Amino acid sequence: MAGFFIQLKINMQNWGVKISGYGAYLPGKAVSNEELKALYHLDFDAEKHAAITGIKYRHFGEASLTTSMMAAEAAKEALLCANVAAKDLGRIILGTQTADYTNTAASCRVQNLIGANCPVGDTTASCSSFMYALDNALRLVATGCNKVMLIGADMKSRNVRKSDKIFLPIFSDGAGAILLEKTDTSGGFLGIKLWADGSGFEDIIVPAGGSAMPASIDTINNDLHGTLINMEGKKMANFTASIMANLASQLCDELSIRINDIDLFVPHQSNYYIMKKTANILGIPIHKMEVSIDRVGNCISGTIPITLHQSYSRGRMKKGSIVLITAAGAGYTGGAAIYRCL
């Protein structure tokens, strides 16, 4: 494989970067597999789908809702959780692949919606967008920009054909957010590692809508604004699991952390088959893996912060616990991070 590892690992133990607030937002009511079949007249086995992907429910945003609106709601909850005012934020970073418009950062609208006045920025790396945004946010806090709002949000249902019985039951809409702040105590984020291999950038792709193929009557008529996969499904799933496991394993080795020391495993909620295979490769017991995909589906950039919010709400982010986070996405991209709860 022609990929390369971007050596962006940093030891945060002495610098001190912690999560001080968690937030999440899921639009509308939960849609079950059977409801989805009836709504779009899809021919797929709902029970088999749930068994393989782990997905039983998902959320879809109404036509008037945008990625920035969902992101803002998640950010508001994270601010409330941390007891921090929006005006005190030093930066807003949004990981997304479905910004509201092609010419402006969706994080600009988030800033306006929550009443902040700080600089902002969007980061796009498919399902790894949140991890790439996390790397950016960690370095900002570690080098003096305190109180960084980090958000992952996507309206992926807008880029799926309503007749697609493979992707429509998997992809969903949602947003999650964490507030990062400085801390004088040891712990917090211990390290992060990113990866990319651009040789596979066309393996999973939305062909139209960008500069390569601008939207036109032809692209609409030929249904080119939906997600396409150009690799056999199981091969893609196994490849994705290997990326996440390799990144996580390498980061653990670099930080001298044993797999047995991991208390909580938070993988990108792509589908349960991939998540379970990743855990098995690493040797992490399934009971240590946090699972949200059953109730929210695959929200792309939103899956990790939504799952972290769930872990926090369930009391699993206990002081001293070591949390392993990993993701992989189209492009190809990937990332892993380790956090010691404070």
pLDDT digits (tens, 9 = 90+) for 93-137: 999 999 999 999 999 999 999 999 999 999 999 999 999 999 999
Q: What's the mean pLDDT in 222-240?
A: 87
Categorize the per-residue pLDDT at 4 as very low, low, confident or very high, splitting at 50, 70 and 90.
very low
Residue extents of the structural domains in the chain = 4-8+189-340, 17-185
Q: What's the mean pLDDT in 228-242?
A: 89
Do domains 4-8+189-340 and 17-185 share one topology? The answer is: yes
pLDDT at 230 over 90: no
Categorize the per-residue pLDDT at 234 as very low, low, confident or very high, splitting at 50, 70 and 90.
confident
Q: Which residue intervals of 19-61 are DSSP H helices?
A: 33-40, 46-53
Q: What's the mean pLDDT in 164-171?
A: 92
pLDDT at 290 over 70: yes
CATH of domain 4-8+189-340: 3.40.47.10
Burial class of residue 160 (count of CB atoms within 10 Å of its CB; 0-12, 13-18, 19+): buried
pLDDT score, position 15: 62
Categorize the per-residue pLDDT at 322 as very low, low, confident or very high, splitting at 50, 70 and 90.
very high
Q: What's the mean pLDDT in 14-35?
A: 93
Contact 327, 307 (CB under 8 A): no
CB atoms inside a 10 Å sphere around CB 277? 19
Using alpha carbons, list the distances in angstroms from residue 38 to 20, 44, 46, 55.
42, 11, 11, 17
0.85 cut: is pTM over it? yes
Query: Angle at the Cα of 111 (from 16 to 338), degrees rounded to 5?
Result: 30
pLDDT score, position 6: 45
pLDDT score, position 278: 98
Q: Which of 271, 298, 299, 341 is catalytic?
A: 298
Q: Which residue intervals of the chain are DSSP H helices?
A: 33-40, 46-53, 67-82, 106-114, 129-142, 217-221, 233-254, 272-282, 293-296, 303-313
Q: Is 49 noted as a catalytic residue in this protein?
A: no
| Among the listed residues 309, 302, 48, 272, the one whose alpha carbon sits nearest the alpha carbon of residue 155 | 302
Q: Which of 49, 246, 252, 268 is catalytic?
A: 268
Over the stretch 36-63, which tens digit does the pLDDT of each residue have? 999 999 988 989 999 999 999 999 999 9
Q: Is 298 noted as a catalytic residue in this protein?
A: yes
Count of residues in the chain: 342
Pick the CATH number of 17-185 from 1.10.10.10, 1.20.58.2050, 1.10.8.60, 3.40.47.10: 3.40.47.10
Q: Measure the CA–CA gap between 108 and 122, rounded to whole angstroms.
A: 9
pLDDT at 12 over 60: no
Q: Measure the CA–CA gap between 252 and 142, rounded to whole angstroms.
A: 21
Q: Which of 33, 49, 59, 127 is catalytic?
A: 127
Q: Which residue intervals of 63-216 are DSSP H helices?
A: 67-82, 106-114, 129-142
Categorize the per-residue pLDDT at 194 as very low, low, confident or very high, splitting at 50, 70 and 90.
very high
Six-digit token string for 99 = 């910004």
Please give the share of the chain, as a percent, with pLDDT higher than 90. Answer: 82
